[in-house]
Amino acid sequence: MTGEEIVALSKKHTITEYVPQDSVNPIPVARAKGVHFWTPEGKRFIDFNSQLMSVNIGHGDPRVIAAITEQAQKVTYVTPAMTTEVRARLGAKLAELAPGDIDAFFFTNGGAEANENAFKIARAVTGRQKILARYRSYHGGTAAAIAATGDPRGWSQPPMPGIVHVLDPYHGVARGWDDAATSLKYLEEVIQLEGPHTIAAFILETVTGTNGVLVPPDGYMQGVRALCDKHGILMIADEVMSGFGRTGKWFAIEHWGVVPDMITMAKGLTSSYIPLGAVGVRRPLADHFKDKMFPGGLTYSSHPVACAAALATIAVYEEDGLIDRAAKTGTLLASLHAELSAKHPSVGVTRCIGLFGVIELVRNRQTLEPLAPLNGTSPEMAALGKFFREEGLFTFLRWHYFFTNPPLCITEPELREGIEIIDRGLAITDKAVQS
């Protein structure tokens, strides 16, 4: 099929997430390899967002494809009440990689279900019902996960009893950051006003993802851990996006030396070759269910082909040194961000940790007025997105910012290729803003 035929048939018979369907204009993809993908007509794109910040090892790795094929030839599915060698081995491997004494895992179909089950575990263990979550957050599209989500994607859903949102340390490009002490003082006030004895858990993205790659100030995560301990609240680290090398560590929480009570994961777990998520729990939480029913179940939990993909993906991270490589390449990315900021007056602020990056655009460096409003766009942002697409660079543009999240296997020349396209695009944006 041609790209035009693929798009037309897809728009007629399938639904695209979080957009009015008349506005859908997808890129048709025929093949992908490494940090690139191609349309049926052969137009090449550099994947500067790892698709959904998830194809961490790059596209088309033959080692993962071989593992998927091998497992499919042995057994494709068994009920989760049975088990397989790949399930056993994956659980043991994740216990080796996860921080602290997190060593038991419930496998899900993706990140949203991992968060849903983390809530169920927290409520079952504590006997409490409330879940704290932050406004600048996204935790998934299923019922409780979207209720916990604080950004505009949750606005269209009815509020769910028991979900309480709190402010982040970050208040937008114009207002900037609170220090850790100020943010923690506010958080504890909310806990007191809600009643600590009613709060089961606090879920937070260790490094906030689609709401702007928000890297917490030093002391914040340690302070959250201390407040949770003080009030008997379970700390859930949502590492669906920030896990598996994205920040230069296996899990982002390692940057702050904190062990959460639960950690949720997906995306980079299989590099999105096969859908798979998991919630990891500390040993005391796992032991709670020795003589009590575990409050969750999924037809495809621990799917053998997905577990095989995860084991092979983890092996690629290790064999190719991708975690350390992300940290080193992330240092280069930060310097390239700084060059863009110095050169382009439309750049308000940049952030990155490892290969998890964002560039926020403004109309005026003095007022720091965002180039587009919250949950909106602008002619300048639309033009920038069109330029990137025409020039063969794929990344996400959201509101007034865009992301720099390439696969961890990206080389320096490939990284510079993507930044060069961004540089040219920002030159056009500068002129549009100044005119």
pLDDT, tens digit, 9 for 90 and up, residues 198-247: 999 999 999 999 999 999 999 999 999 999 999 999 999 999 999 999 99
| Phi, psi dihedrals of residue 420, rounded to the nearest 5° | -65, -40
Contact between residue 240 and residue 84 where contact means Cβ atoms under 8 Å apart: no
- Going from the C-alpha of 392 to that of each of 12, 37, 56, 180, the distances in angstroms are 26, 10, 20, 40
Given a cut of 90, whether residue 9 has pLDDT beyond it is yes
- Render pLDDT for 243-279 as a digit per residue (tens, 0 to 9): 999 999 999 999 999 999 999 999 999 999 999 999 9
- Cα–Cα distance measured from residue 88 to residue 388, given in angstroms and rounded to the nearest whole number: 44
Residue appearing with tokens 């577990």 = 307
131-184 per-position pLDDT tens digit: 999 999 999 999 999 999 999 999 988 889 999 999 999 999 999 999 999 999
∠ Cα 249 45 1 (to 5°) = 125
DSSP letter (8 states) at residue 285: H
pLDDT value of residue 159:
87
> Coil, strand or helix: which one is 357?
strand
pLDDT score, position 114: 98
